[in-house]
Amino acid sequence: MNETAFLEALLRIPSLSGDEAAAAEFLVAQMRSFGWESFVDPAGNAVAQLGDHGPQLVLLGHIDTVAGEVPVRIADGLLYGRGAVDAKGPFATFIWAARRVQEAGRLHCRLVLVGATEEEAASSKGAHFARDRYAPDLCVIGEPGGWDRITLGYKGRLQVHYRHTQPSAHSAGELQAAPQQMVAFWQAVESYCAAYNQGRSKLFEQLIPSLRQVASGGDGMQDWAAATIGLRLPERIDPADLAATLRDLAGSAEVQFSGACPAFRSPRATPLANAFVRAIRNHGGNPTFLHKTGTADMNVVGPAWRCPIVAYGPGDSRLDHTPDEHIAIAEYLRAIDVLADVIAMH
């Protein structure tokens, strides 16, 4: 298969978070066909290793996707499918860039490719396993940003699971209904975030809340209301401290937390970032740096590895998780060219 046929085949394999086994086996088989040492590790990651000298460069992408079937097809130079952008496209870029460097005899480092599991589930199971297994000199995270853009940082994350239960009461009574109590909590969270954001104009510096799920009900004896709230955290906010504040705001309601992860930002002036700048310029691009308002596996491995790290990959991140998810084939191929040059520089 060529680069495009490979990505198309990968997109046709469903790989929801927690159910990535078929995609991992496909990737391992393909990477073994290149003569690479390749295997599925205990976390379900698809792993390949090549090169026997030089610095270790880990290419860490994720192969799981969110739900929703986007019919796989090619039209007008665009390849459609769930994961085309987030993030099978970037991981396919890793594989073909490594293959190109090896075939050209330009591989001067020890490469480890990791197609990680459960990034979309907020557990980052695959990245946590890789974090404790490797200690690389350099790392590239596979996430979409565009072939001529380099991502240096991601915001942190905290998910809040709220549930309030109370005795049933007549709607004409004085007791606020359970859904009203939940709305009041949401409004308190919004107000807290708005106060924090005063004077902070950049999105990367702001505390951003989102109401993800809402439900309510009752059995005639008790009424309940529940909500899931997502928060994107700037660098100065510690998830544990924020959780304590939210417990206070929730009053007597039950609150639980998941997906806690602090923000992470990599320095701009590193040999790895500079290599991407040179490679992008060599291919006619005008490189720019990004700081994303989402969260990625960079947040997991970056603080532990403390090595030069960036995120890179083709695709428009505004198409993440959408019913129109697609990647421009020309951009995908150009990103392979850029990454191949970066690998060869190390």
Which residue, among 204, 56, 43, has the nearest Cα to 130 in the 3D structure?
43
* Residues 20 and 71 grouped into a single domain: yes
pLDDT attached to residue 123: 87
Question: How far is Cα 166 from Cα 275, in angstroms, rounded to an integer?
Answer: 59
Total-model pTM: 0.94
* Residues 242 and 292 grouped into a single domain: no
The domain boundary, picked from 233, 261, 289, lies at 261
Looking at residue 235, which CATH number applies to its domain? 3.30.70.360
**How many structural domains compose the chain?**
2
Domain boundaries, position 273: 3-154+263-344
336 near 329, Cβ under 8 Å? no
pLDDT attached to residue 296: 96
Residue 64 a catalytic site member: yes
* Residues 196 and 336 grouped into a single domain: no
Looking at residue 44, which CATH number applies to its domain? 3.40.630.10
* Residues 272 and 323 grouped into a single domain: yes
Per-residue pLDDT in tens (0 to 9) along the chain, 346 residues: 899 999 999 999 999 999 999 999 999 999 999 999 999 999 999 999 999 999 999 999 999 999 999 999 999 999 999 999 999 999 999 999 999 999 999 999 999 999 999 999 878 999 999 999 999 999 999 999 999 999 999 999 999 999 999 998 766 667 789 999 999 999 999 999 999 999 999 999 999 999 999 999 999 999 999 999 999 999 999 999 999 999 999 999 999 999 999 999 999 999 999 999 999 999 999 999 999 999 999 999 999 999 999 999 999 999 999 999 999 999 999 999 999 999 999 9
* Residues 162 and 227 grouped into a single domain: yes
Point out the catalytic residue in the list 8, 64, 223, 337.
64
* Residues 50 and 145 grouped into a single domain: yes
* Residues 194 and 276 grouped into a single domain: no
Question: How far is Cα 143 from Cα 145, in angstroms, rounded to an integer?
Answer: 7
C-alpha distance from residue 264 to each of 34, 58, 169, 261, 302 (Å): 35, 18, 47, 9, 7
Q: Which helix (H) or strand (E) holds 119?
A: none
* Residues 11 and 118 grouped into a single domain: yes
The domain boundary, picked from 242, 261, 280, lies at 261
270 near 307, Cβ under 8 Å? no
* Residues 287 and 147 grouped into a single domain: yes
Point out the catalytic residue in the list 119, 120, 320, 341.
119
The domain boundary, picked from 244, 261, 278, lies at 261
* Residues 105 and 248 grouped into a single domain: no
* Residues 148 and 278 grouped into a single domain: yes
Task: For tokens 């308190």, name the residue.
Answer: 188
